Amino acid sequence: MTRLIAYLQLMRPANIITAWADILLGYAAAGVLTEGINNLDFLALGWLILATTGLYGGGVVFNDVCDAELDAVERPERPLPSGRASLVGAIALGIILLILGIVAAAMVSNLSALLAAIVAITALVYDKWGKHQTFLGPLNMGACRGGNLLLGVSAIPSAVSDRWYLALIPIVYIAAITAISQGEVQGGNKITGIMAIAFIGIVVSSILGLGLLPEYTLLITLPFLTLFIALVLPPFIKAAINPSPQLIQMAVKAGILSLIVLDATIAAGFTNWLYGLLLLALLPLSRLLARIFAVT
């Protein structure tokens, strides 16, 4: 049981729930709900949620694999350096999860499989190389989430060409989280914190800009957007003022878990407040898992 828990820790279950939210947002933005729901639509949604579970889980497992030597010094309590999980076992788990993600996506469409493969490759590039790049690293990680959102849109393959721009929002948002997270072990600097807050401002402005679309109802999103700002900005501002490891870790955790609120905010505008609340209901589950398993 201890070994099983260790491998679950490598997968970061609380974060995987946020990846589900990306899929549900993409599913709504594709127009599935406005065109009518049938059993085939639900089947496609199920495959895509399974796909993102494999892709995200596999990506973060390989993140720990690539950081095994560093974690032995900085985070000896992590599953790999502590010996609770083996390196060979982690590599095998990561491979299985990534393959599962691509195969599950292929059950929806060839485009979904292609997007899943791109997300998997982008995640591996980040794990091995991107995370060490000050400027390209945050964009690399953001591209993983943007691709994940488009994976949800691919429930209707033809909608990807119409909704591609939505991927830019999580790219900028994750870039903000990744930028500020670079100091979560040894501390960061105020410039990085200010840059992250600026990215948050761009995200909020982009959501407001969606109101220009005829199919988007901005008024419905405002309560969700207010909640998002209230959850994200305070910890980011604190980390920018005092970039200590503890405050940065709190900002990163708040940023990751608030992905669900961000997705609910955007999805509500494409559908209705009820769908937004349904998506928002994932937040308590993610927070509960975050108390059991590490988020960062």
pLDDT of residue 188: 62
Question: Mean pLDDT over residues 116-128, rounded?
Answer: 95
What domain count does the chain have?
A: 1
Q: How far apart are CA 103 and CA 113, in angstroms?
A: 7
pLDDT of residue 242: 86
pLDDT of residue 292: 81
- Token pair 């990215």: residue: 199
pLDDT of residue 39: 44
Residues 158-169 have pLDDT tens digits of 999 999 999 999
Q: If DSSP states are collapsed to H, E and C, what string results for the chain?
A: CHHHHHHHHHHCHHHHHHHHHHHHHHHHHCCHHHHCCCHHHHHHHHHHHHHHHHHHHHHHHHHHHHCHHHHHHHCCCCHHHHCCCCHHHHHHHHHHHHHHHHHHHHCCCHHHHHHHHHHHHHHHHHHHCHHHCCCHHHHHHHHHHHHHHHHHHCCCHHHHHHHHHHHHHHHHHHHHHHHHHCCCCCCCCHHHHHHHHHHHHHHHHHHHHHHHCCCCCHHHHHHHHHHHHHHHHHHHHHHHHCCCHHHHHHHHHHHHHCHHHHHHHHHHHHCCHHHHHHHHCHHHHHHHHHHHCCCC
Average pLDDT, the chain: 90
For 76, how many CA atoms within 13 A lie in the half-sphere containing its CB? 1
Q: Considering only CA atoms, which of 99, 24, 26, 25 is closest in space to residue 61? A: 99
Is the pLDDT at 37 greater than 80? The verdict is: no
Is the pLDDT at 61 greater than 80? The verdict is: yes
Is the pLDDT at 266 greater than 90? The verdict is: yes
Is the pLDDT at 282 greater than 70? The verdict is: yes
Question: Mean pLDDT over residues 6-20, rounded?
Answer: 92
Is the pLDDT at 100 greater than 60? The verdict is: yes
Structure confidence at residue 34 as a pLDDT band (50, 70, 90):
low
Whether the CB-CB separation of 61 and 195 falls below 8 Å is answered with no
- Tell which wins on pLDDT, 32 or 140: 140
Structure confidence at residue 113 as a pLDDT band (50, 70, 90):
very high
Structure confidence at residue 187 as a pLDDT band (50, 70, 90):
low
pLDDT of residue 244: 85
Whether the CB-CB separation of 175 and 142 falls below 8 Å is answered with yes
The boundaries of the domain holding residue 187 are 2-292
Structure confidence at residue 262 as a pLDDT band (50, 70, 90):
very high
Residues 197-256 have pLDDT tens digits of 999 999 999 999 999 999 999 999 999 999 999 999 999 999 888 888 888 888 988 998
Is the pLDDT at 1 greater than 80? The verdict is: no
Q: For 242, list phi and psi in degrees, rounded to 5.
A: -130, 85
Q: Considering only CA atoms, which of 294, 288, 239 is closest in space to residue 260? A: 288
Q: How far apart are CA 46 and CA 51, in angstroms?
A: 9
Structure confidence at residue 296 as a pLDDT band (50, 70, 90):
low
pLDDT of residue 33: 74
Is the pLDDT at 38 greater than 50? The verdict is: no
pLDDT of residue 236: 92
CATH at residue 91: 1.10.357.140
